[in-house]
Amino acid sequence: MKAGYKNPYCRMISILMTVILVAMLTRVNTYAESSSYSIEVNITENVVTVFENGQPVKAMTCSSGSASPHSGTYRTSAKYRWLTLVGNVYGQYCTRITGHILFHSVPYTSYGNASSLEYWEYDKLGTSASLGCIRLSVEDAKWIYDNCALSTSVTFVTSGSLPLGKPSTYKIADAPEGFREWDPTDPDGNNPWRLGRESSVFQAEYYANRYEELKNAYGYDAKQLMVHWVTHGIPESRQASSEFDLTYYKENNADLRNRYGDDNYSYVYHYIEHGKAEGRRGYQVDPAYYRQCEAFVTRLYMTCLGREPEAEGLENWTNILAYRESSGAAVAKGFVFSREYQLKGVSDDEYVEMLYQVFLDRASDAKGKADWLEVLQIGVSREYIFRGFACSPEYTELCSSYGILRGDIELTQERDQNPALTAYINRMYREVLGRDGEETGLNDWCRAILKKQATPEQAAESILMSREFTDKDLDDEEYVKVLYRAFMGREYDQAGLDAWVNALEEGAEREAVLHQFASSPEFAGIQAAFGI
């Protein structure tokens, strides 16, 4: 053979080996992904069951086909956001199981177009209808695509139990044009079925209870009820939510009637996308309930502000309650922390007395009032005390008597998150600086400790090393006396005082002495008493 001669077969073999090596490496990388999930496909029942660490966690209704495997376990090997399928159709969220068998959505007639669903095939979910792949709703196909790593095991069976049963499916062939071409479960923001996911306009239980024939037909099956509402309920102006009455919305918005005419769907979309934000009311409150809310608000004016309500304020607060835009606790907070009440400059004693009247509907008792005042003294905000009254059983009952939801109040200040910690910080302010901690300081130190950016010991030492304290310019003896009170929780003993003062006079650094006190068993006991 001549030098430099290259056998074409050798070159072919070399290329082939390279391809095989790349494929092997790709396979290794593919199967390197791990998953705690495994999947079982029952092709007789057309149900997919997902297991996590051997326990069933999710069931999906599917469509299998004549070419679907009847047995065997396979491992997923590839994923495709969109994929061309047999028959010039396309699938979303495809996961390859083996060969040409995949999990995928019901087919579409246009690649990448989520509004081209073969709805007549969609209605076959739960039956054998595919050529062999496992068809799923978009929601379920996407769940596998997003959550089950490649190399997830998929086992095919023809019998056996369904540990989570067989979920119901949507039937959408009768839905209006523009709806039926979409999978109702598709999370795409342009999906018109999103109407049925808006609780402000559709509540399945409400819809079933309001229309007896629907409850008899579908029970409380949310999927079937939603399809009925979109397909028939909206055109018939049926009310499917306690918060939205289509007939009322049309009648009370002339500008929308000029724009939409008899297009009921447009009114529903408008309320969801614009109406609520614009402050438009979606339904008519029962007059008797409105009067109850009005009486509730009038009572707040009298007990909190000590006056009769003005017309505009009464109407605004009543509407907020009557249309369930806020709770009894939140509305009461609007009064208690209003500028009008804050300008009264009431004392803590007067503040607590007012809370008794507003929330418990009675005058204070001596012990109860003293307890609340003591809580205020540890450094929490007035809002913390407010929440204690607003979430009381007495106020819950009071709201209920007016037909109003009490609700809750979120405490946002760090000093209100752990009262014991706040009391600890405030004690250091008092013992070291001779005053109560200011709001900013208490919140800053509580935040730092709660977020583990500082320890309780570091907070105590920092307060003692603050400029405010050093500006006191105490001599060594007075300095040590402060350390005793702050870190020992007692007055000094003479021998101990003399020893520490002598150490300082002989050159010991104040910071080193401070650290000794902060590390003492006595100070550890003080912290333990505060639960920190």
Query: What are 225-246's pLDDT values in tens digits?
Result: 999 999 999 999 999 998 899 9
Q: Write out pLDDT tens, residues 62-74.
A: 999 999 999 999 9
Does the structure show a pLDDT above 70 at 329?
yes
- Maximum CA pair distance of the chain? 114
Higher pLDDT, 362 or 28: 362
Of the listed 133, 148, 304, 399, which one is catalytic? 133
- pTM over 0.85? The answer is no
Which helix (H) or strand (E) segment is 394 a member of? helix 393-401
Kindly report the CATH class assigned to 287-412.
Answer: mainly alpha
Our answer to whether residue 62 is catalytic in this structure is no
Q: Where are the domains of the chain?
A: 37-157, 192-275, 287-412, 416-529
Our answer to whether residue 133 is catalytic in this structure is yes
Of the listed 94, 104, 270, 446, which one is catalytic? 104
Does the structure show a pLDDT above 80 at 322?
yes
Does the structure show a pLDDT above 60 at 23?
no
Which helix (H) or strand (E) segment is 89 a member of? strand 89-98
Give start and end residues of each alpha helix (H) in 156-286: 204-210, 212-218, 222-228, 246-251, 254-260, 264-270
Q: Which two tokens stand for residue 396?
A: 């819950």
Average confidence (pLDDT) over 201-215: 96
Which helix (H) or strand (E) segment is 95 a member of? strand 89-98
Does the structure show a pLDDT above 80 at 278?
yes
Residue 170 is predicted with a pLDDT of: 85
Residue 33 is predicted with a pLDDT of: 52
CA 39: distance to chain centroid?
A: 29
Does the structure show a pLDDT above 60 at 18?
no
Strands across the sheet containing 78-85: 78-85, 89-98, 101-105, 134-136
Of 7-11, 159-163, 202-206, 324-328, least confident by mean pLDDT is 7-11
Q: Write out pLDDT tens, residues 258-269.
A: 999 999 999 999
Is residue 168 a contact partner of residue 84, using CB atoms and an 8 Å limit? no
Residue 225 is predicted with a pLDDT of: 95
On the question of a common fold for 37-157 and 287-412, the answer reads no
- 3.30.70.890, 2.40.440.10, 3.90.1150.10, 3.65.10.10: which CATH number matches 37-157? 2.40.440.10
Among the listed residues 116, 93, 97, 123, the one whose alpha carbon sits nearest the alpha carbon of residue 105: 93
CATH classification code of 416-529: 1.10.3130.20
Instruction: Write the CB contacts of 327 (distance below 8 Å, at least 6 apart in sequence).
Output: 399, 404, 405, 406, 407, 408
Percent of the chain with pLDDT over 70: 94
Average pLDDT in the chain: 92
Residue 34 is predicted with a pLDDT of: 57
